[in-house]
Structure 1
Amino acid sequence: MLWIFRIVLFLLIIYLFYRCFKFIVNPKRKLELAQEQKKFYFFDDQDNVRKNFFITYKGVLFEGEKYLGTTEDSFEVVSIFVWTNNVSSLKGLSLKDFYYIEGEIRERYPKAKIDWKSPIKELLNNNDNETS
């Protein structure tokens, strides 16, 4: 009877270590931690086009929706819409920050056209009109 108890206890300890490890390496947790620390983090499953990606930058959480299309020689992500659900968190971000985020998206999806949703879209369009 004592051996059975020891085996069960040993298995329980192994299971707890496994759960702790899974918690530590969970990408969603890393995303939340990066948002709290106001760091950059890109959370994406590039193999699954149907899953949206998430970016945290300077404490702001952005979400991007990918659309598959055809290019000259293959099927690729050709369009991406990016937005944030909390518009008030954009306070303090500049054009340079949005261009940095676009650059990070382009590294992963070079053939995609990136569209921002309002109010970021207006900020970028106003800047494009002023430089023209």
Structure 2
Amino acid sequence: MFIILIRLLVFALIIFLIYSGFKYLFNPKRKLELAKEQKQFYFLDDKEDVRKNFMVTYKGVLFEGEKYLGTTSQSFEVVSIFVWAKSSSALQGLTLKDFYYIEEEIKQRYPYADVDWKSPIKELLDKKRSQGEKWS
């Protein structure tokens, strides 16, 4: 009787370890960190929860975006997004094309949204726009 109980506990422990391993492997935040380390693009977002910010990693830089719900001509949609870098010092080496690429990826997911950048990216983009330079 005691041996059967121990076997059941060992079996339950093995099932728990396998479940925990799968949960860890398929965790989106782990994928975000992995993409950041490999300097790849990754977009982590819960489209169903407007109040939850999204995270983007691109070329090893982590960006966070805050979504705001508003009205369009036919429905309620995300109409405004503010994006900022989690670490300003990590922005070194990024160009206007990189910010344009990130903005386009956000626009694909939220077509009705106006994307606004926070400092210091906003100053760079405003400076280039006031000089009449294009994104390319």
TM bin (shorter chain): over 0.9
What corresponds to 2:108 in structure 1? 107
Q: Which amino acid aligns with 1:91?
A: Q
Distance 2:121 2:5 in 1: 62
Gaps of 5+ in 2: none
**Do residues 10 (structure 1) and 7 (structure 2) align?**
no
Match of 1:44 in 2: 45
- Once the two structures are aligned, what percentage of the paired residues are identical? 64
CA distance in 2, matches of 1:77, 1:20: 35
Matched residues in 1 for 2:120 and 2:85: separation? 10
Aligned residues: 132
In 1: Cα distance, 2:90 partner to 2:84 partner:
12
Using the alignment, how far apart are the partners of 1:85 and 1:17 within structure 2? 34
User: How much has 1:85 moved relative to structure 2?
Assistant: 2.5
Detail structure 1 runs of 4+ shifted over 4 Å in the superposition: none
User: What is the SS of the residue equivalent to 1:12?
Assistant: helix
Superposed CA offset, 1:42-81 (max 9, x none)? 0000000000000000010000000000000100000000
The answer for the alignment partner of 2:123 in structure 1 is 122
TM-score relative to the length of structure 2:
0.94
- Residue 125 of structure 1 deviates from its aligned partner by 1.2
The reply to whether residue 86 of structure 1 matches residue 87 of structure 2 is yes
Is 74-83 or 31-40 further displaced after alignment? 31-40
